[in-house]
Structure 1
Amino acid sequence: MDLADDLITHPYDVYERLRTSSPVHRIKGMDGQPAWLVTRYDDVRAALADPRLSLDKTNAREGCYRGLSLPPALDANLLNMDPPDHTRLRRLVGRAFTPRRINQLRAPIRDTTNRLLDALGPHGTTDLISAYAAPLPITVICELLGVPESHRPDFRSWTDALIAPDPSRPQAAKEAIVAMLRFLGDLLDHKRRQPADDLLSDLIAVRDGEGEQLTEDELMSLAFLILFAGYENTVQLIGNAVLALLQHSDQMQALRQDPTRIPVAVEEFARYEGPALLAIRRFPREDVTIGDVEIPAGETVLLSLAAANRDPDRFADPDRLDLDRDAAGHMALGHGIHYCLGAPLARVETEIAVAALLARFDVLELTQGEVHWRPSLRARGLIELPVSYRATLPSR
């Protein structure tokens, strides 16, 4: 079953048909290779926590979809690992995402949002992705890691080339990988010579110290993953949340009147239009049965987070944005041991970004009827978000 075009333009219509007809479908993966697609909430949630489903590509059968191909120096990351290596690396990097550290970032995040909104002026038109939703997470994650400001636009372009390759430039993704390798290698060398108070310096100290250590490939791969995921998930979560409000003016007005509801609303934004259509591919270590379908060992399993989050057996009237809904249990940021490590940071950034935008502009409208999504079967993000805005009230 080839669903590529429809899953980009109308994913929820496709997922509704698939979810209704069967729990699991045989499809073509992003590279044309076969895979199994799981769409129902209970099946997806169980599979995300099933230790029989491996992320390690050495468990993949030849001829099946294996995901993005990266060199070893970028591939030794948490998205390709099972316990015990996954447990070891997650414990080491998890120190950067504790509740205490995330709360310490709230003030810098607010400063960044205000600076970006100041640059827009009191009225006009803009693309909110390039002017706001993208530079905010790039700034936050790069400052957390210690990436110099001069390199941040480059990193964004490299990430975009990997998430949604341009068919007219087939070499762009390979060029981005080469550039990332060179950049991260130089950055790590610099941090070794001049350590600072940042996450990369901390990880280097672990790599070069005694006790529980990282390999050089694991160090480079962790730096890559934190930068990549820290940007990708958050820019899409912010952009999708703002689009949802622009398309539901009554809900936007309700949040303006009571901004204390925004943290709860972020959970509904994530459920309704999350940053990923699919979880990272998995490979059964043994034959497994999902729903009533037996999947042979080594074949690729794709778990649709988007379909699960719109499953009417779990969420009533799931295609309706309802900011009063209890969206607990959504899987926009995963579930189980591979739950997104940066989820607390993504939530805080989205909460602050939405609150600042609504407080600053009391007129905010789309300037075109149709929006354009990035041509990706995995990520769910906007190419641009053109809006007109006006602040008739004093900045708050």
Structure 2
Amino acid sequence: MFELGHGFVGRWWPVTAEMEILELTDEFYQDPHATYRALRERGPLHRIRLDGVVGWLIVDHDVARQALAEPTISKRIGSPEGQAVLAKNGAAEMFNTAISDNMLFADPPQHTRLRRLVAKAFAGPAIRDLQPRITSIADSLLDDISARTTVDLIDNYAFRLPIAVICELLGVPDDDKADFRSWTAVVVSDTATNEERAAAGVTYFTYLTKLIAERTDDPRDDLLSQLIIAKDHEDRLDQHELIAMLLLLLIAGHETTVNLIGNSVLELLREPAIAERLRANPEAIPAYVEEILRFQGSLHLATARYTTAPITLGDQDIDADEFILISLAAANRDPARFAEPDRIDLERPESRHIAFGYGIHHCLGAALARMEATTAISRLLATFPDLSLDGEFSDLTWRKSLLIHGLTSLPVRLAARTESRTGPVTDTDRVSVMA
């Protein structure tokens, strides 16, 4: 048994000569980087048993990039082959195939086709011209909490901004937005029961079917209309593919952005000198968001993968039908790739972090997430210059998820607000939508 890092944050021990158990503790979720650091010092990847799941955990930046780009590593966990691999490695209960039937869990040529169709909509005016509306939404949310002394910034700002943006993207009518928000809150909830999530999912599915029919008959300047009319020669998305894409936007796009905003604010509260610097030089906010993506990103692990043939990752030979876990969080603090990785550095050279993945599955919504986070931080700093934590940092709790890396809540004291807010900060290179 080994203690990892300064203080006990996790533990592992050999099961066989080739396998180790990684046990998760409350301390791990509070500071996963101590565990990742200790593992990385012992090697770039490890064969582990984690919550009963057997697989290979990658904690090295170069090996992570290799695995993310490797064509013989598949993401088709919903396929019969994928389900068989998951069952073999104890992961059959980890994934719901109902949410795996989309572009995120597809391989070429299906992935190539879907991404080509969807990328056109994500490169269109529905997203390209969204910046002023995101600024307006952020200002409205901050106005709503301005009369309060203390507030949970996750629930009242970081959670609500991405939902409002999704409503804008899809053209959800004003009268439906409250219902849409409530369904979404249940679907992405950590505490809702399976029955509650299933019921909300059915309601959401029914609503999207109705909205698709309306936009098919009456197209508008929104992302949903662009997805409906998008075509490559004569190829189009069918209704099933449309709904799968919208569910992906809701679940993946919402969760990552909520936690990117929350983690960004947390580090500003921890580092008031950085907050003051950004208030004085708001043009540095995009660089700050980029560092948070590396330093305290929204994800622990990349989504599920498995080997379809024998492969060598780093110097390790791996058989076919093995479950692959890639720690984006560990890779993004690899000292072999990043100087002083445990420090936020606004002057860091182009970091080539992999917070949004790498290769053909690089996140299609990365630029939108950057746009939302940059705007959220810009407006928050401009509105509440004396923002502070309401409580102790040691009392904050992190979500107990190996996928999502984010706080359960972030209580803050707002103090006095600034009546004159500067205009939004943008960086056209960073917010241009990538396909």
Q: Same fold (TM over 0.5)?
A: yes
**Post-superposition, which runs of at least 4 consecutive aligned residues in structure 1 deviate over 6 A?**
none
Partner Cα distance (1:165, 1:7) in 2? 20
- Please give the residue correspondences for 1:166-245 in structure 2 after superposition, counting only pairs within 5 Å: 169=193, 171-206=195-230, 211-245=234-268
Contact 2:73–2:305 under 8 Å retained in 1: yes
Q: CA deviation at 1:197?
A: 2.9
Call closer, same or farther: CA 1:122–1:171 in 2, change over 3 Å: closer
Partner Cα distance (2:339, 2:414) in 1? 34
1:56 — aligned with what? 76
- Structure 2 runs not aligned, ≥5 long: 1-20, 422-435
Q: CA deviation at 1:86?
A: 0.7
Contact 1:129–1:385 under 8 Å retained in 2: yes
Contact 1:122–1:390 under 8 Å retained in 2: no
SS in 2 for 1:384: coil
Q: CA deviation at 1:344?
A: 0.3
SS in 2 for 1:395: coil
Q: CA deviation at 1:223?
A: 1.3
Call closer, same or farther: CA 1:155–1:96 in 2, change over 3 Å: farther
Q: CA deviation at 1:374?
A: 1.5
Partner Cα distance (1:292, 1:155) in 2? 46
Call closer, same or farther: CA 1:109–1:257 in 2, change over 3 Å: same
Q: CA deviation at 1:126?
A: 0.5
SS in 1 for 2:172: coil
Contact 1:310–1:319 under 8 Å retained in 2: yes
Matched to 2:96, the amino acid is S
TM-score, normalised to structure 2, is 0.83
2:96 — aligned with what? 69
Contact 1:4–1:377 under 8 Å retained in 2: no
Partner Cα distance (1:174, 1:296) in 2? 36
Contact 2:399–2:405 under 8 Å retained in 1: yes
SS in 2 for 1:390: coil
Matched, 1:79 2:104: yes
Matched, 1:252 2:279: no
Deviations 1:302-329 (A, max 9, x none): 1100000111111112111222223520
Q: CA deviation at 1:29?
A: 4.9
1:13 — aligned with what? 34
Q: CA deviation at 1:221?
A: 0.6
Matched, 1:153 2:181: yes
Call closer, same or farther: CA 1:19–1:131 in 2, change over 3 Å: same
Call closer, same or farther: CA 1:78–1:234 in 2, change over 3 Å: same
Q: CA deviation at 1:153?
A: 1.7
Matched to 1:366, the amino acid is L
Deviations 1:197-251 (A, max 9, x none): 32223333458x9811223322221111112222111111111101011011111
Contact 1:236–1:380 under 8 Å retained in 2: yes
Matched, 1:25 2:53: no
Contact 1:262–1:355 under 8 Å retained in 2: yes
1:325 — aligned with what? 348
Deviations 1:156-213 (A, max 9, x none): 323323xx355xx454444444343333334334434544332223333458x98112
Partner Cα distance (2:38, 2:302) in 1? 20
2:61 — aligned with what? 41
- Structure 1 runs not aligned, ≥5 long: none
Deviations 1:246-279 (A, max 9, x none): 0111111111111111111111011111011111
- Please give the residue correspondences for 1:222-371 in structure 2 after superposition, counting only pairs within 5 Å: 222-369=245-392, 370-371=395-396
Contact 1:53–1:285 under 8 Å retained in 2: yes
SS in 1 for 2:414: strand
Matched to 1:42, the amino acid is D
SS in 1 for 2:29: helix
Matched to 1:13, the amino acid is A
Contact 1:277–1:378 under 8 Å retained in 2: yes
Partner Cα distance (1:195, 1:81) in 2? 28
Q: CA deviation at 1:46?
A: 1.2
Contact 1:55–1:281 under 8 Å retained in 2: yes
Partner Cα distance (2:360, 2:208) in 1? 27
Matched to 1:34, the amino acid is V
TM-score, normalised to structure 1, is 0.91
SS in 2 for 1:34: strand
Count residues in correspondence.
Answer: 388
2:157 counterpart (127, 132, 135): 132
SS in 2 for 1:374: coil
Partner Cα distance (1:18, 1:273) in 2? 18
Partner Cα distance (2:37, 2:414) in 1? 35
Contact 2:61–2:331 under 8 Å retained in 1: yes
Partner Cα distance (2:333, 2:248) in 1? 28
SS in 1 for 2:388: strand
